[in-house]
Structure 1
């Protein structure tokens, strides 16, 4: 703009004068940039630099405004109009300086006012006093408006800056609160899973004993109650992952028929126990393998099937799968009481239970459907509901999954025939968990050596050879990860063969498992302990098929 102003002014002024003005203006612009950089670097150490910059701005703006002043002095209508427009533009540009500093902004505006006063003095002999007075009043009113606008702009910018700072502070506060909530949930998950391990672990051990029908029935109640509590805990953790954006999907090839049969079998006994029919229909177009997170799809279907069995008293339930337009559609239908039209969308809310709290006959925390819909939407799909009161409900899961040629065979979670006589070292500080672990392994013909901290585990590992080490994470004296680090370091220094170390911990969140594997664990078994999963992990470790090695193969 500076170059354009100098070039255009040549129509009325001497080109040499315009070139000189352009050179001086360019030099002042360069000096201004250097001074601003210096102040940005040393401004806090030298507040007087603001005054220096204000004085420099006064000189710079005065020189800059001299070109439009010269055009006004030429006296032709065109030159006066051009000079006035340029002077107004310079005055308005001064308002930007108020945002930086009121002192600097006033200096810039004062320079323009001085130029106008200078023009007034120079034109006084050739202009009538009345005309001169009126023009001066008009110009001063213009500058008063500019000053008012500049102060308003300064206030607005400062308010916006304050609002932005407040929003950033609240965002940081919310992030901190979210982090605190995540830490709280992780801690509570660990603390709740530890006593649950004693309940469910000993229930599984007792299940193998000779029990009377009455005792076995009571034991089933204990196991079902413990499992219900574990499910609620998992739902709350899933909800926390969704809210914090930490929920991750693991797309892998899977066979649809095997997944649906497995889901159906999980709830078949409950359905038949209530006298309900149970059907599965897969259309020819839906048969085959898909690429998707089978675990999350299974979780969604389990929630839907659990509700269907829970709320249906007569008739039955069905699973119908179809593949239309590149989308997998799985419908879980029942002949239950149905849901009123005005309640259907609310049903997907969090902690929503449609039966009155005082007359409830069914358990649950009201999270299953909310989490299921969130999971479906994370997979770019959705869940829809069609229901009529007295006729039943049909929940349809729609997912845009691509078909593939191969799929991963699911692992057999039945307890393997672990070879008796294995030398197993276990580090566990909780006496109840020690009893559970010893009882579970004893039933498999294994007598473990159990120590109560990582330091004792490290000492026992150095003294003898072990087939597998089961390592808790949170222990006194030395925690499990520190002990693991020392084991891996000594293996490398002494050339000892790698000992499979399995994390046996209540740290069950996915990111926690990943951190454990990255730290050098070979596998992970969460608490409460599932006997089949524990013995399966031991079997994999002995045979070299640990979780860590399988992840390396995938990579």
Structure 2
């Protein structure tokens, strides 16, 4: 149909429409169809007067097409089946610098052809006075209507500049890849070189913290550790950014409790919030399963970045975090009452190395946190979005698909506090909002009173039996108003309400545990759901026990509970850095183990084989991956080969490395490592890992 259209249009409209015909049917097709239309004489009533066009040979050449192809800048040639040229347009003669090419072959005029994957299509090269030109060459076989003779019609379009541009693009891509690889190597080297001394700094500060220090020295040490952990986070951000850019980023999902992850992050950031005089609170809806599949470490990283930013930029009010299920996805909303962002700031807040806020706030980070967080959530199959109103606040929303959920775990939370009527005497803010939302989520009723007058009205209703109160929770900032309430309505004491005192973790030192002050229990905010339930059900008395949260640093990797070593075991430590070697020896000896230390791989293998060549296997080996005297992977493989041959018993091996690439960890595990720990080493994690491996060897 396209061919018929070309013929009809060409015959009726004339050759000035050839560019449109070419767009429809292609260069060679248009050329052939129009050649057939004018017939074998090749005349339309106007003879070609060009000095570059020779007389047509044997009456076959469509000379009138020469101006058309010339105008398009294309080569046009008709050849016999033996390859001799019977006609060529003006451009062909000009490019070949010949007056007449009739009877010659393409090879004779300097054309060479390189096949392409498409049939009857070639890349043609022609050496000219200005250099080698490249042509996109098409051949079409046609039969002359009058004689029935087969001829080869060809059109070549000059693609020299396009080819040059493609070569330049390829060269630029190659240079960019080489630069990217060089940057990756540089980052890996710098990361290793930073992590080694940083491991020594944090390790020594850990050991120093276990000695007798004055209060002032403890403060200095806490500041040093805080700076060290901030530097670790900076290195982690740079490595994550590099991994995401190179496509090496991988998630490691497992069954996890979202509420525990969320509460842990909020607890870690509460100290920063309370120092600024603001609140932070979190609640999890009842429809969120207690167990689902996700990468907890990476989600924790995202939440720490997003909630941490909200705390950093908020000066009054606070940060409220709420998790629920929306259209099959887990949704976590982070609302703050900060200054908000302009449309321009909001548009670039997720860009690399971009930061909002004033100069002082921008100086506190790299501007990578939110960019990395968004890309992590995209790897989750989810999203990280933001909306904001200048002068009002911002909302960030984390979403990812709900996978591997256990529906029964969500149903178990519904109705846990059914029948509970709780009066909360606390200032308006995220803390009381989170407390009220949690009570309502679990099936209870919460009545919030921000002022003494509101609390008095609720209490009066309870005294008249129109409000069946069961509990009253008093924020420490409203303790004086609660005493005033008891003075005004002493009959409240006869209602047998369970009274709970709510404090900041920083307030524990100023409120001794043994002075309950008439309260049956104390809770710490930000609130843990489990502790709240235990208190309201009467199962928790006294002060809530909570681990230390004032370290105020991100915990982005899973940390197992500390295990206590059972009995002294012989551990061989291979570490070439003297500071890190001292740290490892001290940690392991304090855990009850005996330690032998070597400084390179040759000494490691010699220690295993002993003086007389007989294998003397230690209970466990802790070795750095990069040391003089060999290659860590090769040494590990040789050790496992000797064990497989029966030359020695199997020894657990823990490898320490400053290189945190996931593929390297997998290589080490495949080579026979029992554990791979990244530097800086967490002492508790190392001790626990060793205890687990030694216990496993026993069984």
Quickly say closer, same or farther: Cα 1:183–1:167, change in 2 above 3 A: same
Mapping for residues 114-129 of structure 1, pairs under 5 Å:
none
Q: Deviations over 1:390-414 (max 9, x none)?
A: 332221111122252299xx96534
Query: Are residues 1:427 and 2:574 paired?
Result: yes
Mapping for residues 22-61 of structure 1, pairs under 5 Å:
60-61=82-83
Query: Are residues 1:456 and 2:603 paired?
Result: yes
What residue number does 1:223 align with?
A: 225
- Are the aligned partners of 2:573 and 2:597 in contact in 1 as well (CA < 8 Å)? yes
Mapping for residues 494-513 of structure 1, pairs under 5 Å:
494-513=646-665
**Secondary structure of 1:320 counterpart:** strand
Query: Are residues 1:544 and 2:691 paired?
Result: no
What residue number does 2:260 align with?
A: 258
Which of the residues 265, 269, 272 maps onto 2:271?
A: 269
What residue number does 1:305 align with?
A: 307
- Are the aligned partners of 1:455 and 1:483 in contact in 2 as well (CA < 8 Å)? no
Q: Deviations over 1:457-498 (max 9, x none)?
A: 111122323111011111112232232122112112234221
Shift of 1:101: 5.3
For 2:219 and 2:279, the matched residues in 1 are separated by 24
Query: Are residues 1:441 and 2:442 paired?
Result: no
Count of residues in Structure 1 that have an aligned counterpart in Structure 2: 428
For 2:319 and 2:338, the matched residues in 1 are separated by 9
For 2:677 and 2:252, the matched residues in 1 are separated by 19
For 1:296 and 1:520, the matched residues in 2 are separated by 26
- Are the aligned partners of 2:289 and 2:405 in contact in 1 as well (CA < 8 Å)? no
What residue number does 1:326 align with?
A: 328
Shift of 1:371: 0.7
Query: Are residues 1:373 and 2:397 paired?
Result: no
What residue number does 2:669 align with?
A: 517
Mapping for residues 347-386 of structure 1, pairs under 5 Å:
347-357=349-359, 359-360=360-361, 363-386=364-387
- Are the aligned partners of 1:454 and 1:482 in contact in 2 as well (CA < 8 Å)? no
Quickly say closer, same or farther: Cα 1:100–1:494, change in 2 above 3 A: same
Q: Deviations over 1:171-196 (max 9, x none)?
A: 22222222222121111111110010
Cα RMSD (Å): 3.6
Shift of 1:516: 1.3
Quickly say closer, same or farther: Cα 1:208–1:100, change in 2 above 3 A: same
Shift of 1:509: 2.1
Shift of 1:346: 1.1
Shift of 1:545: 8.7
- Are the aligned partners of 2:201 and 2:228 in contact in 1 as well (CA < 8 Å)? yes
For 1:307 and 1:97, the matched residues in 2 are separated by 59
What residue number does 1:205 align with?
A: 207
TM-score (norm 2): 0.56
What residue number does 2:624 align with?
A: 472
Quickly say closer, same or farther: Cα 1:425–1:101, change in 2 above 3 A: same
Q: Deviations over 1:341-398 (max 9, x none)?
A: 33112111111122343x4476111111111111112222211222223332221111
Which deviates further from its counterpart, 524-533 or 272-281?
A: 272-281
- Are the aligned partners of 2:283 and 2:321 in contact in 1 as well (CA < 8 Å)? yes
What residue number does 1:390 align with?
A: 391
Which of the residues 631, 634, 643 maps onto 1:482?
A: 634
Structure 1 or 2: larger helix share? 1
Structure 1 or 2: larger strand share? 2
What residue number does 1:99 align with?
A: 123
What residue number does 1:166 align with?
A: 168
Which deviates further from its counterpart, 341-350 or 184-193?
A: 341-350
Quickly say closer, same or farther: Cα 1:385–1:98, change in 2 above 3 A: closer
Query: Which runs of 5 or more structure 2 residues have no equivalent in the other structure?
Result: 1-78, 88-118, 128-133, 410-556, 611-615
- Are the aligned partners of 1:457 and 1:483 in contact in 2 as well (CA < 8 Å)? no
For 1:435 and 1:221, the matched residues in 2 are separated by 23
For 1:246 and 1:160, the matched residues in 2 are separated by 34
**Secondary structure of 2:177 counterpart:** helix
For 1:64 and 1:519, the matched residues in 2 are separated by 71
For 2:320 and 2:165, the matched residues in 1 are separated by 55
What residue number does 1:552 align with?
A: none
Bigger RCO of structures 1 and 2 (CA < 8 A, at least 6 apart): 1
What residue number does 1:248 align with?
A: 250
Shift of 1:303: 0.6
**Secondary structure of 2:332 counterpart:** strand
Shift of 1:537: 1.6
- Are the aligned partners of 1:472 and 1:504 in contact in 2 as well (CA < 8 Å)? yes
Query: Which runs of 5 or more structure 1 residues have no equivalent in the other structure?
Result: 1-56, 66-94, 120-141, 547-555
Shift of 1:280: 1.4
